[in-house]
Amino acid sequence: MNIQPKITPVLDPGFVPAVLWNKAYEAKAAADPASHQVDIALTRADGTCFRWSAKLLPATEENKALNEKYVERIIKFLLWQKGGNIILVAGDDSIADMLASQYCKGGAREFDWDFIGKKIYGAPIEVKKVASAADLPAEYSGSMTLGRNLDGYRIGFDLGGSDRKCAAVVNGEVVYSEEVVWDPYFQKDPQYHIDGIQDSLERAAAHLPRVDAIGGSSAGVIINSIVRTSSLFRGVSQEDIENTLGKVFRTLQKEKWNNIPFEVVNDGEVTALAGAMGMNDNAVLGVAMGTSEAAGYVDPEGHIKPWLNELAFAPVDYSAEGGVDEWSKDMGVGALYFSQQAVARLAPRAGFEFGSMPFPEQLKKVQAAMAEGDERARKIYESIGVHFGYAIAHYACFYDVRNLLFLGRVASGDGGQIIIDKAEEVLAAEFPELKIQLRVPDEKTKRHGQAVAAASLPALS
């Protein structure tokens, strides 16, 4: 299909926005009376089930590649947005066979099959055929009723790659906060991490008469306060993660903190919650452009959902020449478009010659050039902004969102405003029906919002 965006990224003329490709496919399928329906359920062991259905073009040889691309890209998005390791397919056995051939050892999506399946949910992704849509389980997504609990004496913390932030909070007001430098990435001994976390908690507790609850955020996939995988623990063996470090928060709760309410979630979710609390509104999708793309979501009712929201691996560009992610080996996924990796990918096209310079240093050079009015830097930010505008519209197909919270290293400085301006230009030109406010955190939220939001996660017993 020939997709022509109204606005093209100046440094990426071959960009094929996922949202436009999908809409064109769906219009084509709707216009063909021989189209058929496929129904898919994405499930996991805890009973959570997400449903998706669509009309597919007639199953002819001519339509085969279009049908497979449409379904595979959306299922890939749903896997990283919502999570699950069992894919049930009704209405098209060939689609089930295609997914099974990709999500397997040696398949094109082996990374996802292993990472989502084994590391997050304890069993590899499995694709199963189901006789009819009536045989699929009902939708059940649930909500985590976490956050906005401000009563009592609380500790809030955030674990990052370079420092541990921790705060003492009394009835929603920060009375003490501190950042402690640490170097978690390549520490092999689990005790290093355990001792570091406990040290920060004790420092905050020293400023409170008692501790009623503890809430925290951390990079990684965290389910029921248990770490399934995290870049912070990359130096620790998988065996040690499963045996000790993955359960560190529950262990500390029991052994050091007298079983007081203690909840920890992914840092993206807390960022979105902090934004929602700061702007006093809900339906917030937070997107942070940093080392990679991080995301979090607060639904229209103000709840954090038990989803993955790992949009770094979610496809946004359907071009056959899109960027290839070094880790997942997939093409056109968010990490390559909305992070310091995006800056490094576009920099040579803009005329910068950075060679093997580390990505963080490349970003600093581009930011410095932008501050001096360098047109090459402007083109990088304008291109990211166009990518982002189309991606926001794509995200809106999967999230009920009124507010897009924009933050991260790439968002800082003049370049961040250029990204916002170009994204808003795309939304106005292509998607005027979408009423999404692009927002940046205010100073209070930047200073203490994350700590207060984290501290507010547990309800007092």
Contacts of 424 (CB under 8 A, 6+ apart): 389, 438
Q: Which residue has the tokens 């790439």?
A: 410
pLDDT value at 388 more than 90: yes
Give the pLDDT confidence score for residue 458 in this predicted structure.
95
Contacts of 317 (CB under 8 A, 6+ apart): 15, 16, 17, 18, 323, 331, 332, 337, 387
* Separation between Cα atoms, residue 128 and residue 63, nearest integer Å: 23
SS3 category, 85: coil
Pairing of the two strands 284-289 and 153-159? unpaired
78 class by beta-carbon count within 10 Å (0-12 exposed, 13-18 middle, 19+ buried): buried
- Mean of the pLDDT values across residues 250-256? 97
- Mean of the pLDDT values across residues 407-420? 94
The long-range contacts involving 252-255, CB below 8 angstroms and separated by at least 24 positions, are: 252/194, 252/197, 252/198, 252/201, 253/214
Q: In what order do the strands lie in the sheet with 173-181?
A: 173-181, 163-170, 153-159, 213-218, 262-266
pTM for the full model? 0.92
> Contact at 8 Å (CB) between 180 and 238?
no
Q: How far is CA 351 from CA 323, 376, 378, in A?
A: 18, 7, 12
Mean pLDDT, the chain, whole residue set? 94
> Contact at 8 Å (CB) between 277 and 453?
yes
- Mean of the pLDDT values across residues 91-99? 98
* Separation between Cα atoms, residue 333 and residue 339, nearest integer Å: 11
pLDDT value at 447 more than 90: no
Please count the other Cβ atoms lying within 10 Å of the Cβ belonging to residue 12. Answer: 22
Give the pLDDT confidence score for residue 160 in this predicted structure.
85
Amino acid at 97: D
Pairing of the two strands 126-130 and 86-90? parallel
* Separation between Cα atoms, residue 1 and residue 332, nearest integer Å: 17
* Separation between Cα atoms, residue 35 and residue 41, nearest integer Å: 20
Query: What pLDDT, in 10s, does the model give residues 313-327?
Result: 999 999 998 889 988
pLDDT value at 448 more than 80: no
Q: How far is CA 297 from CA 165, 353, 435, 447, in A?
A: 22, 37, 17, 20
SS3 category, 304: strand
The tokens for 23 are 């809409």
Please count the other Cβ atoms lying within 10 Å of the Cβ belonging to residue 145. Answer: 13
Give the chain's end-to-end CA distance (angstroms, integer).
56
Max mean pLDDT range (14-23, 145-154, 442-451) = 14-23
Please count the other Cβ atoms lying within 10 Å of the Cβ belonging to residue 1. Answer: 13
pLDDT value at 67 more than 90: yes
pLDDT value at 143 more than 80: no
pLDDT value at 183 more than 80: yes
Give the pLDDT confidence score for residue 51 in this predicted structure.
97
Give the pLDDT confidence score for residue 380 in this predicted structure.
98
Contacts of 264 (CB under 8 A, 6+ apart): 215, 216, 217, 218, 222, 225, 249, 457
The tokens for 394 are 């794509």
Give the pLDDT confidence score for residue 46 in this predicted structure.
85
* Separation between Cα atoms, residue 237 and residue 190, nearest integer Å: 9
395 class by beta-carbon count within 10 Å (0-12 exposed, 13-18 middle, 19+ buried): buried
